[in-house]
Amino acid sequence: MLLTWDAAAVRAAEEPLLRDGAPLMARAATGLAHHVARLLRGARGAVRGAHAVLLVGGGNNGGDTLHAGALLARRGVRVTALTTVAHPHAEGLAALRTAGGRVLPVPDGDLPAPVRDALDGADVVLDGLLGLGARRGGVRGPGAGLVAPLADLRGRAGAGPLVVAVDLPSGVGVDDGTCAGPVPVADVTVTFGAPQPAHVLPPAAGAVGDLVVVDIGLDLAGPPAVARLEAADVVDLWPVPSASGHKYVRGVVGVVAGSAAYPGAAVLATSGALRAGVGMVRYLGDAPVVAAHPEVVAGPGRVQAWVVGPGVGPDDDVQRSRARDAVARAGSHGEPVVVDAGALDLLPPHVPPHVVLTPHAGELATLLTARGAAVSRADVEASPWEHARRAHEATGATVLLKGPVTVVVGPHGAAYAQADGPPWLATAGAGDVLAGVLGAVLAGRAADVAADPTLPAALAALAALVHGRAAHAANPGGPVTASAVADAVPATVAALLGGTAR
Ligand SMILES: NC(=O)C1=CN([C@@H]2O[C@H](COP(=O)(O)OP(=O)(O)OC[C@H]3O[C@@H](n4cnc5c(N)ncnc54)[C@H](OP(=O)(O)O)[C@@H]3O)[C@@H](O)[C@H]2O)[C@@H](O)CC1
Ligand SMILES: Nc1ncnc2c1ncn2[C@@H]1O[C@H](COP(=O)(O)OP(=O)(O)O)[C@@H](O)[C@H]1O
Ligand SMILES: [K+]
């Protein structure tokens, strides 16, 4: 599991070390220079003779970058620092000059020809404009004028420089992953001490590239902020049947989905649940689910978890009433419920955290707006984390917000950001499959969910991980249908479990 800590926690961990005189900046710069050298060797076969351009802001982030530049210059790299403030980090600047680096000030407005030429000829660009100290509002001042030219250079297919973000892509909201203005997009981010929320949260995570963590000796105390489940975590969370388990022990999922207008959603949601390995699926509705999946049992009965809402239309009073009953049972009987799509407007004012909402950005905006906050889809996309948290706080539910990075928020600080699927996964019906997979894991672990209010969030992240990886497996590098994603779930789970059985 990848854990992140917020800016305050990282600063608090640095503080006692700095008081004792630990050379944190030297450690950071050494690690940074090491990774940049490795990248240069990989890209051009040698470190010596490469051209590195440093984008230097006014704080310690610029200081790390200048010191790393000095170390690279000593290894034969031609280094040009583009300084965007009158007084960049003094020691770093002196070190770079002593090592033979060149310094070019960047004025406000149009970039002078030497600055343009330096960028044009760079093998690697180190983005050291802003790190932990970035305040909301995006990069301001002369540094802002470097972001667009850098994006143009990266756009040159195969010919642009490598971009390495120092600690963080400059200007991102460290704790919430927002990008208030244009942000330099990195191929690799080298961070120091511990990852931070912006490294995993959208939209900032899209500018991070590969993440490298340099150990500078920080001892992070206190709870982490946002987590990201990795493949190795699946074995601890997935409901693997015991040798003696029968189908009711494994869990029964009740599905309320589909309508005359959207019968396919019911087929896809049940596919997701069946392929994830549930004991049984009971289906309530009129869609041709049993014809598609003869193993489904039609009609009511006991269930361990519900999936309600996929393909349920606004005028379908029968399905809506069933969905409402299932949500009510979550309160009275404790059965977990996945509330998706057409059931999201049926929530009572407050629900327990084993009610898991699975909106996309538009649905989350509608949900929050119905509760008195005027929120648009664009607002949610600009700050998915903040809005998922607001939805959790407003409803009490665990919230899984779908998107390129899927964000999950539950009680007691439970928080995940999963980026497992390819963009091909953004296809009609994919969300229905996810709802089914999530229903299956909630049913399989219903007893544990009753004992741990944070577990639904972990299981929601688990379902997103498996769903995303199934999309890769369904057709590596190419288009997928929602049905194909569902079909790839069993083999994806088997691979992630590594053939283990309990
Ligand atoms: N502590 C340590 O020893 C260690 C710290 N480490 C490193 O230090 C970094 C944190 O350094 P930091 O605290 O100096 O902040 P940093 O990110 O450089 O930015 C501050 C500068 O930016 C400016 N500024 C702010 N917002 C702005 C905006 N929107 N647009 C434009 N400018 C803006 C602000 O100016 P102001 O606006 O306040 O006048 C100020 O000049 C951290 O990320 C890591 O790299 C590592 O070496 C490990 C050891
Ligand atoms: N750019 C993207 N990259 C990866 N996954 C994406 C991207 N955009 C959307 N997704 C995923 O695709 C799925 C789409 O679900 P949803 O919008 O509910 O579709 P539907 O309602 O048609 O089933 C979600 O799992 C979402 O996380
Ligand atoms: K940076």
Q: Check if 459 has its Cβ closer than 6 Å to any atom of ligand 1.
A: no
Burial of 180 (0-12, 13-18, 19+ CB in 10 A): middle
What are 198's two structure tokens? Answer: 């912006």
402 assigned binding-site residue:
yes
Supply the angle between the helices 361-370 and 384-395 in degrees, to the nearest 10.
Answer: 40
| CATH 3.40.50.10260 domain extents, the chain | 2-225
Q: Check if 421 has its Cβ closer than 6 Å to any atom of ligand 2.
A: yes
| CATH 3.40.1190.20 domain extents, the chain | 231-497
CA 64 to ligand 3 centroid distance, Å: 10
CATH number listed for the domain at residues 231-497? 3.40.1190.20
Q: What is the ipTM of this complex?
A: 0.93
311 assigned binding-site residue:
yes
CA 493 to ligand 2 centroid distance, Å: 20
191 assigned binding-site residue:
no
Domain 2-225 listed as CATH 3.40.50.10260: yes
DSSP state of 137: S
406 assigned binding-site residue:
yes
329 phi and psi angles, rounded to 5 deg = -65, -25
Tell me how far apart the alpha carbons of residues 342 and 340 are, in angstroms, rounded to a whole number: 6
Look at strands 51-56 and 78-83 and give their pairing.
Answer: parallel
pTM above 0.90, yes or no: yes
Q: Name the nearest CA neighbour of 415 among 402, 406, 424, 423.
A: 406
Q: How far is CA 57 from the centre of its chain?
A: 27
CA 170 to ligand 3 centroid distance, Å: 4
Exposure string of 344-367, with b = 16+ CB inside 10 Å and e = fewer, is bebbeeebbbbbbbbbbbebbbbb
Q: Check if 182 has its Cβ closer than 6 Å to any atom of ligand 1.
A: no
**Helical (H) or strand (E) element with 188:** strand 188-192
Q: Identify which ligand lies nearest to the alpha carbon of 405.
A: 2
Tell me how far apart the alpha carbons of residues 260 and 478 are, in angstroms, rounded to a whole number: 31
Which residues, given as ranges, of the chain have pLDDT below 70?
157, 499-502
**Helical (H) or strand (E) element with 273:** helix 263-275
Question: Coil, strand, or helix at residue 405?
Answer: coil
CA 414 to ligand 3 centroid distance, Å: 28
pLDDT at site 502:
38
**Helical (H) or strand (E) element with 74:** helix 60-74
Tell me how far apart the alpha carbons of residues 296 and 294 are, in angstroms, rounded to a whole number: 5
pLDDT at site 247:
78
pLDDT at site 499:
62
Atom of ligand 2 nearest to the CA of 432: 23
